[in-house]
Amino acid sequence: MAEDKAWSTSAEITWCPGCGNFGILAALRQALAAAGLEPWQVVVVGGIGQSGKVAQYIGANFLHGLHGRAIPHALGVKLANPELKVIVVGGDGDLYGEGGNHLLHAFRRNPDIVCLAHNNGVYGLTKGQAAPTSSPGFAPKNREAGTHIPAFNPLAAGLAMGGSFIARGFAGDIKHLARLIGEAFEHKGFGFIDILQPCVTYNHVNTAEWYRKRVYDLELESHNPLDADAARARILEWPAEGDDVEIPIGVFYRSRRPAYETCGRPGQAVTRLEFDIDVVKKAMEEFR
Ligand SMILES: Cc1ncc(C[n+]2csc(CCOP(=O)(O)OP(=O)(O)O)c2C)c(N)n1
């Protein structure tokens, strides 16, 4: 598959013109084409939300489950067939709110899954309620006084939970994002990318222009992603209060440890291990 167009489907795209999801979809298609994968090797698992629709717009296998449950669904797919390239796509509501518990344990378990978190700072599909990543002061229609809670920092949570690939991209820089997704494909473990994404309809604070003025590429700052202390310092730069913030994008941290599906035995998959049926029979006897 040389052309990223080959990863399209006939499904009608129903996002608002200018939605950041278009940039993420384009970057994912580019990364899939560059990785030389075939559609039958790929499963995209979508959360519920505008972001989760990416699963239907990529010409590969897809699974659309329950809100907040994309990661456990993806884990099931990966355990059943570890040869598949499994990609999770979900929103900040889905992955950081309803499914936050699953995300925390995915960092810890380290399955060989790529997770793309579409971070638009709102619950887009359900008409713009505040999300875990909304900045304090953000005032959606259902909370006119504004939210007062500090924004969730998924990268800090990932580092604290032992995440092995922690990155941030920007939907407005497709080339950079496609490269990041490519690196996550190469990584043997949980390849997590928080993606800054404007929502043209419900988030009038963090617009594409707002992000464009603030993002900077970690690579140009000679950041060493193997240095956990340096990663932590960069991760804590944002979210932060104030309008004059700078927002790093790129790979903050990476480390090597066995992927979950290998059960701590690199090169093996737990579902492919030989087992002794007599041991199982003996165990069952105890319950008679
Ligand atoms: C358990 C559960 N709670 C709430 C909902 C309603 N719901 C569907 S999508 C959604 C929010 C989507 O926001 P986000 O995950 O940020 O994705 P976006 O639409 O912004 O891409 C909610 C609250 C649901 N379907 N299931």
> What is the number of residues in the chain?
288
- Residue 95 CA: nearest ligand 1 atom is 15
Q: Is residue 172 part of a domain?
A: yes
Q: Which of 122, 125, 203 to mutate to test the pocket of ligand 1 (most atoms within 8 A of CB)?
A: 125
Write down the pLDDT at residue 2: 44
**What's the farthest any 2 CA atoms get from each other in the chain?**
68
* C-alpha 38 – ligand 1 centre gap (Å): 30
- Beta strand residue intervals within the chain, DSSP E: 42-46, 61-64, 85-91, 113-119, 122-123, 129-130, 165-170, 191-196, 215-217, 247-254
Q: Which of 56, 126, 206 to mutate to test the pocket of ligand 1 (most atoms within 8 A of CB)?
A: 126
Distance CA 237, CA 248 (A): 8
Distance CA 58, CA 53 (A): 9
* C-alpha 60 – ligand 1 centre gap (Å): 24
Write down the pLDDT at residue 285: 95
Task: Name residues of the chain where pLDDT drops below 70.
Answer: 1-5, 266-267
Q: Which of 123, 196, 197 to mutate to test the pocket of ligand 1 (most atoms within 8 A of CB)?
A: 123
Q: Is residue 140 part of a domain?
A: yes
Question: Beta strands 42-46 and 61-64: pairing type?
Answer: parallel
Question: Is the minimum distance from the CB of 93 to ligand 1 under 6 angstroms?
Answer: yes
What is this structure's pTM?
A: 0.94
Write down the pLDDT at residue 14: 97
* C-alpha 264 – ligand 1 centre gap (Å): 34
Q: Is residue 287 part of a domain?
A: no
Yes or no: say if 88 and 107 are a contact pair by the CB < 8 Å rule.
Answer: no
Question: Which residue puts its alpha carbon closest to atom 20 of ligand 1?
Answer: 124
Q: Is residue 280 part of a domain?
A: no
Q: Is residue 111 part of a domain?
A: yes
Question: Is the minimum distance from the CB of 131 to ligand 1 under 6 angstroms?
Answer: yes
- Residue 118 CA: nearest ligand 1 atom is 21
**Total domains in the fold of the chain:** 1
Yes or no: say if 107 and 136 are a contact pair by the CB < 8 Å rule.
Answer: no
Residues 6+ apart with CB under 8 A from 108: 161, 162
Instruction: Give the residue numbers spanning the domain of 65.
Output: 4-261
Residue type, 254: R
Helix/strand/coil percent split, the chain, to 5: 40, 15, 45
Question: Which residue puts its alpha carbon closest to atom 5 of ligand 1?
Answer: 67
**CA atoms within a 13 Å half-sphere pointing along the CA-CB vector of 267:** 0
Q: Is residue 282 part of a domain?
A: no
What CATH number is attached to the domain comprising 226? 3.40.50.970
Q: Is residue 267 part of a domain?
A: no
Q: Which of 25, 48, 50, 134 to mutate to test the pocket of ligand 1 (most atoms within 8 A of CB)?
A: 48
Q: What is the CA radius of gyration of the chain?
A: 19
**What are φ and ψ of residue 43, in 5° steps?**
-125, 125
- Three-state SS for 185? helix
- Three-state SS for 30? helix
Residues 6+ apart with CB under 8 A from 196: 20, 119, 168, 169, 170, 171, 172, 206, 211, 215, 247, 249
Write out pLDDT tens, residues 87-146: 999 999 999 999 999 999 999 999 999 999 999 999 999 999 999 999 999 999 888 898
Q: Is residue 285 part of a domain?
A: no
Distance CA 30, CA 63 (A): 21
